[in-house]
Amino acid sequence: MGGIVVGIDGSADADAALEWSMAQARSRQCPLTVLLAWDPQHCPPAVTGMAGLASEHDTEAAAYRVLHTAIRRAADPRRPTALVEKVERGDAGKVLQAAAAEADLLVLGLHGANRKHRLLAGSVTERLLHRTGTTTVVVRAGAARLDGPVAGPVVVGVDGSDASIRALRQAVIQARAQQAVLRVVHAWLPTYMMDPGALAGVDATVFEKSAQAVLDDCLDQVHEDTLGLRVEPVLVADAPGRVLVRQSADASLVVVGSRGRGELAELMLGSVSHRCVHHAACPVAVVH
């Protein structure tokens, strides 16, 4: 199938995810599927509010109305977007995971509308970030910058791991689609920042040269793919999550691998990607 799948539920963040997805579908010239999932136990409040205490048939009809209303809000009449509309009954996480299996991108709002269910079972977005193998973009209302004359840079964090190289390749695709600068960031936390006595008598430039070599090697691996793109290498001596959140201030997208080389690398979603998803000032793509 390919293309983009975006999940909506009537929330402000889902509306922002839909608007971002429409812009991406136009720039990539790829299919877009807009999907709203519902079930009687965990139905989006926007749907239940419209359906009241009606039958399941009426609830499904209300779900379609919520879907159509969200599409009208997000649509740009100057730039129409071809899309497929879907309403499916079932657990939102499972429905979206199945739909994303053959997609290039899954796009979600950071926070859904059903706060009660989120507190009890964890948000759909959090579940999918851990479970899906599809690159997942998380959008927060007010964070996506779609109207400027020039797209902000696409920022990607690398650390030499296979996951970060996959993130770098995805960032190249995004930067080319948006005609944006590709900013490749390698942030490293020197040992002396954690323990000032650990490097007594040791030339700290050795560690910086090693970090520079990691960054250079990452860029070499995608050299052919980046021809024609403006690439900005950035080497920073600081914690990766903190650096990427700062770099997001003027970015159109931050791209991270789901896991890196750090101590938490074996977790299903690493600490750096988790921090970016929740604190970056722009949409974040997590590449699995």
**Residue 285: which of 115, 81, 129, 93 has the closest Cα?**
129
Alpha helices in the chain (DSSP H): 12-28, 45-51, 56-74, 92-100, 115-121, 124-131, 162-178, 191-194, 205-221, 240-247, 271-279
Rounded (5°) CA angle 225-276-38 = 100
User: Is there a contact between 104 and 5 (Cβ–Cβ < 8 Å)?
Assistant: no
pLDDT tens per residue across span 267-279: 345 689 999 999 9
CATH 3.90.1150.10 fits domain 4-139: no
pLDDT greater than 50 at residue 171: yes
Which CATH number is 154-287 given? 3.40.50.620
101 pLDDT above the threshold of 80? yes
Segment 146-172 shows an average pLDDT of 89
Interior/surface letters 24-57, b for 16+ CB within 10 angstroms, e for the rest? bbbebebbbbbbbbbeeebbbbbbbebbeeeeee
Task: Report the greatest alpha carbon distance in the chain.
Answer: 75
Task: Quote the CA–CA distance of 91 and 211 in Å, as a whole number.
Answer: 44
Evaluate whether 16 touches 139 at the Cβ level (below 8 Å). yes
Whether 195 has a pLDDT exceeding 80, the answer reads: no
User: Phi and psi of 231, rounded to 5°?
Assistant: -115, 130
3 — phi, psi (to 5°)?
Answer: 80, -160
At 127, list the tokens.
């579940």
Which comes out higher in pLDDT, residue 266 or 118?
118
Kindly report, as residue ranges, where domains of CATH 3.40.50.620 are found in the chain.
4-139, 154-287
Which pLDDT band, with edges at 50, 70 and 90, does 43 fall under? confident
What three-state secondary structure class fits 131?
helix
Distance CA 196, CA 271 (A): 24
Q: Which amino acid appears at position 7 of this protein? A: G
**In terms of pTM, does the model score above 0.85?**
yes
Question: pLDDT tens-digit profile of 109-149?
Answer: 998 765 554 433 358 898 999 889 999 999 999 887 765 56
The answer to whether residues 18 and 52 touch, using CB atoms and an 8 Å cutoff, is no
